[in-house]
Amino acid sequence: MAPVTYEKVSKLFDGTAAVKDLDLEIGDGEFIVLVGPSGCGKSTALRMLAGLERTTEGRIMIGDRVVNNVAPQDRDVAMVFQSYALYPHMTVYNNLAFGLRNLKVPKQEIDARVRKAAEILDMGELIKRKPKQLSGGQRQRVALGRAIVREPKAFLMDEPLSNLDAKLRVQTRAEILKLQQRLGTTTIYVTHDQVEAMTMGDRIAVMRFGLLQQLGTPEELYTHPRNVFVAGFIGSPAMNLVPAPLVDGGGSNLIAGFRPEHMTLGDGSPDGLRFDAKVEVVEYLGNDQLAHLVKGETPLVALLPVECRLSMGDDATFTVPRDKLHLFDAETEQVVHGGG
């Protein structure tokens, strides 16, 4: 267990930057999620920490040791790959033991550690099988097991859940969190799924085009997005982002942002933002309904209680409380006035 620090870290591939000037301080035992759209440099940032990719500029530290020139195996980190990369010709036991054997850990200790990891992950009876005799979920657990037997300073996980079906993913998400809390190991977790990021991270680093957009707790990102990109990326359904004059929110140099779940039908609070829109489609979600609206040409989405009676083609009035309104500079896309 150790803190991890990125100091002005950049990575160029043939002159184009995959990661630019990344500054990130990850506390001891913290669970941090790197999230962003495909190609934003999340994996590259993680792989530089693992030592699978060299940094072009800047320093990476694990604890207080600069690891830029340290070989991967000497960094004392363990990685869970998206593909799991379990050695197909080795049994589960040997998959877990391989790394420890290379570290010349005594035999009894290897055995003890492997059995303990197998017990933690509830895979006692699988230990003699080969990877191809396991289900997707079981393979995922073996991949986690291979990381935890190493008792490393940090876990690095690159989209470890993306090969699981939706239900198993939710379940495994919780299991990884429990495991991390139990072991208290610093964890850097990469995903492109903002729901995964919101539910798992102590803090989340949102990246785009190799640049860190915002770093904060899930709540901070949700309530105080620093720019248009983060505002639109975090939260589901996504925030409505429209020219401010359209909803009487401000001048034409501003973009107004408000979340579908903060919209109410009718006049609502007196100081709220009020506007008319036309209902195009209504999606029934059980407790709620998702109304797709248009105002002029601009599409909007509102998440409303299912009691609100709406039908296609209706014109209706909606209200957004002032304190839930975000305003962004249309030019720089940076926040000017942040919601409550």
Partner 1 sequence: MASELPPIPPVIAAEELAKKGEVPPGPGPVTEGIPGREGADKIRRTITYVVLAAVSLLFFVPFFWSISTSLKTLPEAAGFDLLPADPSFRAYREAITTFNFGRYFLNSVFLASVVTGFNLFLASLGGYAFARLRFPGREVLFFLVLGTLMIPHELRLVPVFQMLSEFPVTHWNLLGSYQGYILINLVGATNLFLMRQYFLTIPKDYEEAAKLDGAGYFKTYLRVMLPLAGPALAAITILTFQGTWNDFFWPLVIFLGDETKYTLPLGINQFRSQYSTQWPELMSASILAILPIFALYVFFQRYFIAGITSAGVKG
**From CA 206, how far away is CA 193, in angstroms rounded?**
11
The one among 6, 22, 33, 41 contacting ligand ATP by CB under 6 A: 41
Instruction: With beta carbons less than 8 A apart as the criterion, state whether 337 and 325 touch.
Output: yes
Q: What are phi and psi of 225, to 5 degrees?
A: -60, 140
The one among 2, 6, 42, 230 contacting ligand ATP by CB under 6 A: 42
The one among 163, 199, 253, 289 contacting partner 1 by CB under 8 A: 163
Closest CA to 50 of 16, 17, 85: 85
The one among 27, 39, 184, 299 contacting ligand ATP by CB under 6 A: 39
Query: Is residue 319 within the footprint of Mg ion (CB under 5 A)?
Result: no
Query: Is residue 262 within the footprint of partner 1 (CB under 8 A)?
Result: no
Query: Is residue 167 within the footprint of partner 1 (CB under 8 A)?
Result: no
Query: Helices in the chain by DSSP H: which ranges?
Result: 42-50, 92-102, 107-120, 136-148, 166-183, 194-200, 218-223, 228-233
Query: Is residue 37 within the footprint of partner 1 (CB under 8 A)?
Result: no
Q: Which is nearer to partner 1, 52 or 306 (by Cβ)? A: 52
Stretch that binds Mg ion, among 37-45, 114-122, 255-263, 318-326 (CB under 5 A): 37-45
The one among 1, 66, 85, 294 contacting partner 1 by CB under 8 A: 85
Query: Is residue 79 within the footprint of partner 1 (CB under 8 A)?
Result: yes
Q: Under DSSP, is residue 18 helix (H, G, I), strand (E, B) or coil?
A: strand
The one among 4, 40, 215, 279 contacting ligand ATP by CB under 6 A: 40
Minimum CB separation from ligand ATP for residue 262, in Å? 30
Q: Which is nearer to ligand ATP, 45 or 114 (by Cβ)? A: 45
Q: Which residue has the tokens 């079906």?
A: 165
Q: Which is nearer to partner 1, 12 or 310 (by Cβ)? A: 12
DSSP conformation class of 127: T
Q: What are phi and psi of 136, to 5 degrees?
A: -55, -45
**From CA 78, how far away is CA 50, in angstroms rounded?**
8
Q: Which residue has the tokens 């991890």?
A: 4
For residue 53, give both structure tokens.
Answer: 């990719």
Strand partners, 188: 32, 156
> Would residue 97 be called left, alpha or beta, if left means φ above 0 and alpha means ψ between -120 and 50 degrees?
alpha
The one among 3, 29, 99, 321 contacting partner 1 by CB under 8 A: 99
Q: Which is nearer to Mg ion, 10 or 82 (by Cβ)? A: 82
The one among 15, 38, 270, 297 contacting ligand ATP by CB under 6 A: 38
Closest CA to 123 of 100, 139, 101: 139
Residues in region 191-230 near ligand ATP by CB under 6 A:
192
Q: Under DSSP, is residue 215 helix (H, G, I), strand (E, B) or coil?
A: strand
Strand order across the 203-208 sheet: 77-80, 154-158, 186-191, 31-35, 203-208, 211-216
Minimum CB separation from ligand ATP for residue 87, in Å? 23
Query: Is residue 172 within the footprint of Mg ion (CB under 5 A)?
Result: no
Nearest residue to Mg ion, using CB?
Answer: 43
Query: Is residue 294 within the footprint of partner 1 (CB under 8 A)?
Result: no
Stretch that binds Mg ion, among 35-43, 47-55, 239-247, 284-292 (CB under 5 A): 35-43
Residues in region 283-302 near Mg ion by CB under 5 A:
none
Query: Is residue 88 within the footprint of partner 1 (CB under 8 A)?
Result: yes
Amino acid identity of 162? Answer: S
Contact set with ligand ATP (CB under 6 A): 13, 18, 36, 38-44, 192
